[in-house]
Amino acid sequence: MFGRSVPLAHSLLRNVPAGVGLRRWASTKTLRETLQEVIPAKQEQLKKLKAEHSQTVVGEVKVENIIGGMRGLKAMLWEASVLDPNEGIRFHGLTIPDCQKVLPPAPGGKEMTAESMFWLLLTGRVPSPNESSQFSAELAEKAELPAFVENFVDSLPRTLHPMTQLGMGVAALNHDSQFQAAYERGIKKSEYWTYMLEDCLDLAAKLPALAARIYRNVYHPDKAIAPVDKNMDLVGNYSNMLGFGHNESLTEYLRLYIALHGDHEGGNASAHTSHLVGSTLSDPYLSYSAALFALAGPLHGLANQEVLRWQMAMQKEIGESVSHENIRDYLWKTLRSGQVVPGYGHGVLRNPDPRFIALQEFCKARPELQASSMIQLVQKTAEVAPDVLKEHGKTKNPFPNVDATSGCVLYHYGLTEFKYYTVIFGVSRALGALTQLVWARALGLPIERPKSYSMDALEKLIKN
């Protein structure tokens, strides 16, 4: 995969914005050295925007924005990714297929690693295989949980939702926050990002061990948890600690899943929550624990398990012999009962989700998945559902999103505990949320404080 020439790599990156550096193969730099190069240019870019364009209008606020959850309102700076309604997500200008071509995989694997995606999100640069490998080794050194956090998580009742446990565990890690300690003793604002970075790297490194410990405590309490292997990448360790280290196909799927879910711009509830809490100068542990509790909401992070439940109910009703016609009938039955079809539509996207396409390509490349009746049902549903939803007429985007298939693959490979799926999402989404916390401090972004109105005040405003 990485025997490609430098010209090809640069060709793939021709759409990267001018501010994103292309010196990525000539030498091996640490993440901190790379950020030391990138941050001054970004600071200057922000300074110029403020000085020359602060009064430029980029949108207008309507009553529907105020009473409709601020949907679509252009009011947030987010550096790592941009979500286009038609193209889908781009990470510093790179599409998902671009990332799959140029981001380094784990040794012996084919899928890009979480570390390489994290490096790209943080720096805007594609790491070399050596840089990615060194970064992976650095995170592995930080991956073990403090004993008091292990004891705390072990003391929680098995009946407490895994997402609740994850948020509590992440918040408890702030005991050792370098940013909090530095702020209390007094540091310059220009140094905030360096301590924020250390905390963010520490949290990203520890999340797999924390999430795996919760899984084993809740679902397999009698089985020992594998120790962190310093020679493995983040997701390799995560899969191993979950108890699936023997299943390389699942491990590869988790690598792809976590990289694809790493960031989806800043307007979604969990990313926005992390940014909002972080704007108060809360440390990353507190900021991201708040994001996890937003992710736990049924309207945000629970969609993949809802899709799986719906698919299994359809499979039970129509049987193993699946046709487009009986899928169509079941879709209409769902819609006429007043329910939505889970896994279809998106708050921003107006075309098929590129993440769904990437996961489908993963499925098509593996005979065991192609032989799965559940995966076949997912694929056939994706062929039928858009036309049904267009005919129904109440869905702006009738195409499948990433949740239409993500949980079904986990289930096929034996990770069958539905309630845990959002925890995996939480491990993934940290990559983008933590990146933004670093950049918010590097750019000196202020506390977030929008203006609110009562209905009476709105009506008065409208009359005037």
DSSP string computed for 273-311: HHHHHHTTT--HHHHHHHHHHHHTSTTTTTHHHHHHHHH
Name the CATH code of domain 1-21+32-54+63-297+424-464 (choices 1.10.3720.10, 1.10.580.10, 2.102.10.10, 3.40.50.1010).
1.10.580.10
* pLDDT of 23 strictly over 50: no
Catalytic site residue 346?
A: yes
Q: Which helix (H) or strand (E) holds 149?
A: helix 147-155
| Candidate list 92, 275, 346, 412, residue with the active-site label | 346
Split at pLDDT 50, 70, 90, the class of 3 is very low
With a pLDDT cut of 70, the percent of the chain lying above it is 94
The model's pLDDT over 197-212, given as tens digits with 9 standing for 90+, comes to: 999 999 999 999 999 9
Burial of residue 443 (CB within 10 Å: 0-12, 13-18, 19+) is: middle
Using CA atoms, how far apart are residues 77 and 292, in angstroms rounded to an integer? 21
Residues in contact with 19: Cβ distance below 8 Å, sequence separation at least 6, in sequence order: 41, 42, 45, 124
Each domain of the chain, given as residue ranges in start order, spans 1-21+32-54+63-297+424-464, 303-412
User: What pLDDT, on the 0 to 100 scale, is given for residue 410?
Assistant: 96
The model's pLDDT over 213-233, given as tens digits with 9 standing for 90+, comes to: 999 999 999 999 999 999 999
Split at pLDDT 50, 70, 90, the class of 2 is very low
The model's pLDDT over 38-81, given as tens digits with 9 standing for 90+, comes to: 999 999 999 999 999 999 998 889 999 989 999 888 899 999 99
Which range is least confidently modeled, 172-176, 291-295, 316-320, 353-357? 316-320
Catalytic site residue 300?
A: yes
Catalytic site residue 392?
A: no
User: What pLDDT, on the 0 to 100 scale, is given for residue 27?
Assistant: 62
The model's pLDDT over 111-157, given as tens digits with 9 standing for 90+, comes to: 999 999 999 999 999 999 999 999 999 999 999 999 999 999 999 99
| Candidate list 10, 161, 300, 392, residue with the active-site label | 300
Beta bridge partners of residue 89, listed in sequence order: 83
| Candidate list 261, 264, 403, 412, residue with the active-site label | 403
* pLDDT of 8 strictly over 50: no
The model's pLDDT over 361-376, given as tens digits with 9 standing for 90+, comes to: 999 999 999 999 999 9
User: What pLDDT, on the 0 to 100 scale, is given for residue 285?
Assistant: 98
Using CA atoms, how far apart are residues 78 and 74, in angstroms rounded to an integer? 11
Using CA atoms, how far apart are residues 189 and 284, in angstroms rounded to an integer? 16
Using CA atoms, how far apart are residues 126 and 94, in angstroms rounded to an integer? 10
Instruction: Kindly give the pairing relationship between strand 81-84 and strand 88-91.
Output: antiparallel
Is the domain spanning 303-412 CATH 1.10.10.60? The answer is no
* pLDDT of 92 strictly over 70: yes
Mean local confidence (pLDDT), 335-339: 93
Mean local confidence (pLDDT), 79-101: 94
Please provide the average confidence, as pLDDT, over all residues in the chain. 91
User: What pLDDT, on the 0 to 100 scale, is given for residue 49?
Assistant: 95
